[in-house]
């Protein structure tokens, strides 16, 4: 929570730098330059950070700056909010933001999957998982208890690649039961050597929490090209 508060406070600095008054700032001493440089550094990072989190630019920059100034001055007497209340509000803000994004992604995902499911070659399972068989395999089919070695590329609906073992030229190994539900289900449909394209609904991927580190929003549909290289049977280990 402290990190979130720092983010919001630093955002105030960034917002203030975009007001007309920032044009009148004069950097007459090294301390002035250092202060301004810190603001630029924080603002540049947070601009990209906030864009990833879906935070818009509708904040009142004057109020943001007032909160930042009060906090930096430790002016608890004149502060409009206590530290505890500020933490509560910031937490609620991001919870509401995440819920809004999750709901929008469900709508977009459902529309995409409905259209995609009507295309030739697309199979939709009872869970809602969709896949296309690019190439059938001839070897063993894994169970949840088995490990597998795979190559894959993961994309968002807009085509952006968020992860790829193929780009790294390094296959990955993991237990079938240890990955997202869409992968666990799909792998048990495949045989060694098979290549499938998967369309995984948000509830079978990272759900409402998403995976911010991976650039995946809440309830986002994920698309994977997967090759099952081989099955590492548990009893053979």
Q: Is 75 a catalytic residue?
A: no
Q: Which of 36, 94, 112, 162 is catalytic?
A: 162
Q: Is 131 a catalytic residue?
A: no
Q: Which of 14, 131, 163, 216 is catalytic?
A: 163
d(CA 143, CA 196): 17
Q: Is 163 a catalytic residue?
A: yes
Q: Which two tokens stand for residue 182?
A: 């869409």
Q: Which of 180, 225, 229, 232 is catalytic?
A: 180
CB distance 220 to 206 below 8 Å: yes
For tokens 């879906």, the residue is: 54
Q: Is 14 a catalytic residue?
A: no
Torsion-angle region of 211 (φ positive above 0: left; ψ -120 to 50: alpha; else: beta)? beta
d(CA 96, CA 22): 31
Q: Which two tokens stand for residue 58?
A: 């509708």
Q: Is 180 a catalytic residue?
A: yes
d(CA 171, CA 129): 23
Residue 211 DSSP code: B
Q: Which of 131, 152, 196, 199 is catalytic?
A: 152
Q: Which of 14, 131, 199, 206 is catalytic?
A: 206
**Buried/exposed code over 65-100 (b: 16+ C-beta within 10 A; e: otherwise):** bbbbebbeeeeeeebeeeeeebeeebeeebeeebee
Write out the catalytic residue numbers: 152, 162-163, 180, 206, 224
């Amino acid at each position: 929570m402290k990190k979130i508060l720092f983010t919001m406070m630093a955002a105030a600095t960034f917002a203030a730098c975009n007001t007309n008054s920032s044009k009148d700032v004069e950097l007459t001493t090294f301390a002035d330059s250092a202060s301004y440089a810190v603001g630029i550094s924080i603002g540049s990072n947070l601009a990209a950070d906030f864009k990833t989190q879906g935070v818009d630019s509708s904040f009142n920059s004057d109020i943001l700056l007032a909160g930042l100034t009060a906090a930096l001055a430790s002016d608890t007497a004149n502060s409009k909010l206590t530290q505890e209340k500020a933490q509560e509000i910031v937490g609620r803000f991001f919870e509401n933001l995440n819920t809004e994004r999750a709901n929008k992604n469900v709508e977009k995902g459902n529309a995409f999957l409905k259209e995609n499911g009507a295309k030739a070659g697309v199979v939709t399972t009872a869970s809602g998982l969709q896949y296309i068989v690019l190439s059938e395999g001839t070897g063993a089919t894994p169970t949840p208890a088995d490990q597998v070695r795979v190559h894959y590329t993961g994309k968002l609906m807009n085509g952006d690649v968020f992860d790829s073992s193929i780009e790294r030229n390094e296959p990955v190994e993991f237990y079938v039961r240890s990955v997202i539900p869409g992968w666990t289900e799909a792998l048990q449909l495949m045989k060694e050597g098979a290549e499938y394209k998967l369309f995984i609904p948000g509830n079978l991927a990272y759900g409402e929490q998403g995976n911010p580190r991976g650039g995946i929003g809440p309830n986002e549909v994920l698309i994977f090209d997967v090759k099952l290289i081989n099955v590492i049977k548990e009893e053979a280990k």
